Structure 1
Amino acid sequence: MITRRAAIATSLAASAATLSIGGPTMARPAPPAGFVRREGMALTLDGRPYRFVGANLWYAAWIGDRPRLGRELDALAGLGVTNLRIAASAELSPLKNSVRPAFRDEAGAYDERLLTGLDHAMAEIGKRGLKAVLYLTNFWEWSGGMATYLLWTNGGRYIDMNDPAHPWPAFPDFVAGFYRSPEAVALYHDHVRRIVGRMNSVTGVPYAEDPAIMAWQLANEPRPGGSDPVADQSLADFHDWIGATARLIKSIDPNHLVSTGGEGLKGSMEREDLVLSSQAFDDIDYTTAHLWPGNWGWLDRSDMAGTHGRAMTQSADYIARHIALARRLDRPLVLEEFGYPRDGDVYSPDAPTTLRDAFYGMIHDAVLTSVRAGDPLVGSNFWAWNGEGRAAHADARFRPGDDAFLGDPPHEPQGWYGVFDSDASTLERIRAHAVALTAAG
Structure 2
Amino acid sequence: MTRTSTDRFTLSRRAVLASTAALALTSGVASASSAASPNSGFVTRDGMGLKLDGKPYRFVGANAWYLAWLGADADYGDQRRLTRELDALAADGVTNLRVGASAELSPLNNSVRPAFRDQTATYNETLLVGLDRTLVEMGRRDMKAVLYLTNFWEWSGGMMTYLSWVNGGRYINMNDPAHPWPDFADFNADFYRSEKAVGLYHDYVRAVVGRTNTISGVAYAEDPTIMGWQLANEPRAGGGEQVALNNLPAFYAWINGTARLIKSLAPKQLVSTGGEGLKGSSERAEVVMESCRSPDIDYLTAHIWPGNWGWLDRKDMAGTDARARAMAIDYVNQHVGFARQLDKPLVIEEFGYPRDGDLYDPSVPTTLRDGFYQDVHAAVLADAEAGGPLAGSNFWAWNGEGRTRNPDFRFHDGDSAWMGDPPHEPQGWYGVFDTDLSTRALVRRHAAALTEVTSR
TM-score over 0.5 (shorter chain): yes
Shift of 1:22: 2.7
1:200-239 C-alpha deviation (Å, 9 max, x unpaired) = 0110000000010000000000001112211122111111
Structure 1 counterpart of 2:63, from 47, 56, 63: 56
Match runs of 1:66-105 below 5 Å? 66-105=79-118
Equivalent residues of 1:125, 1:212 under 8 A apart: yes
SS of aligned partner of 2:439 = helix
SS of aligned partner of 2:197 = helix
Shift of 1:111: 1.7
**1:240 match:** 253
CA distance in 2, matches of 1:216, 1:29: 14
Equivalent residues of 1:21, 1:280 under 8 A apart: no
Structure 2 counterpart of 1:126, from 139, 142, 150: 139
CA distance in 1, matches of 2:35, 2:97: 26
| RMSD after superposition | 1.2
Structure 1 counterpart of 2:423, from 393, 396, 410: 410
**1:5 match:** none
CA distance in 2, matches of 1:129, 1:26: 26
One-letter amino acid of the counterpart of residue 83, structure 2: G
Equivalent residues of 2:35, 2:269 under 8 A apart: no
Aligned residues: 422
Would you identify which runs of 4 or more consecutive aligned residues in structure 1 move more than 4 Å? 25-29
Structure 1 counterpart of 2:197, from 172, 176, 184: 184
CA distance in 1, matches of 2:245, 2:306: 26
Shift of 1:24: 3.0
Report whether the alignment pairs 1:279 with 2:292. yes
1:241-268 C-alpha deviation (Å, 9 max, x unpaired) = 1111111111111110000000000000
Equivalent residues of 2:277, 2:302 under 8 A apart: yes
CA distance in 2, matches of 1:153, 1:209: 33
**1:267 match:** 280
Q: 1:424/1:383 Cα in 2 relative to 1: closer, same or farther (>3 Å)?
A: same
**1:109 match:** 122
Match runs of 1:38-53 below 5 Å? 38-53=45-60
**2:29 match:** 24
Shift of 1:79: 0.2
Q: 1:423/1:132 Cα in 2 relative to 1: closer, same or farther (>3 Å)?
A: same
CA distance in 2, matches of 1:29, 1:233: 35
One-letter amino acid of the counterpart of residue 431, structure 2: G
Percent identity of the aligned residues? 66
Match runs of 1:414-433 below 5 Å? 414-433=427-446
Shift of 1:171: 0.7
Match runs of 1:144-155 below 5 Å? 144-155=157-168
**Unaligned 5+ runs, structure 2:** 1-24, 71-76
CA distance in 2, matches of 1:388, 1:157: 38
**1:36 match:** 43
CA distance in 1, matches of 2:232, 2:321: 31
Report whether the alignment pairs 1:378 with 2:391. yes
Equivalent residues of 1:287, 1:333 under 8 A apart: yes
Equivalent residues of 1:21, 1:282 under 8 A apart: no
CA distance in 2, matches of 1:139, 1:25: 28
* TM-score, length-scaled by structure 1: 0.94
1:333-380 C-alpha deviation (Å, 9 max, x unpaired) = 000000000000000000000000000000000000000001111100
1:126-176 C-alpha deviation (Å, 9 max, x unpaired) = 011100000000000000001111110111111011111111111111111
**2:22 match:** none
One-letter amino acid of the counterpart of residue 129, structure 1: D
Shift of 1:21: 6.3
* TM-score, length-scaled by structure 2: 0.91
Shift of 1:25: 4.5
One-letter amino acid of the counterpart of residue 302, structure 1: K
One-letter amino acid of the counterpart of residue 391, structure 1: T
Structure 1 counterpart of 2:266, from 245, 248, 253: 253
Report whether the alignment pairs 1:439 with 2:452. yes
SS of aligned partner of 1:336 = strand
CA distance in 2, matches of 1:128, 1:41: 27
CA distance in 2, matches of 1:307, 1:191: 43
Equivalent residues of 2:36, 2:269 under 8 A apart: no
**1:390 match:** 403
**2:151 match:** 138
SS of aligned partner of 1:440 = helix
SS of aligned partner of 2:193 = coil
Report whether the alignment pairs 1:304 with 2:317. yes
Equivalent residues of 1:224, 1:235 under 8 A apart: yes
CA distance in 2, matches of 1:254, 1:21: 16
CA distance in 1, matches of 2:265, 2:339: 27
Equivalent residues of 2:31, 2:296 under 8 A apart: no
Shift of 1:269: 1.1
**1:327 match:** 340
SS of aligned partner of 1:380 = strand
**2:376 match:** 363
Equivalent residues of 2:271, 2:297 under 8 A apart: yes
CA distance in 2, matches of 1:26, 1:321: 25
**Unaligned 5+ runs, structure 1:** 1-19
Equivalent residues of 1:292, 1:339 under 8 A apart: yes
CA distance in 1, matches of 2:255, 2:366: 38
Shift of 1:391: 0.8
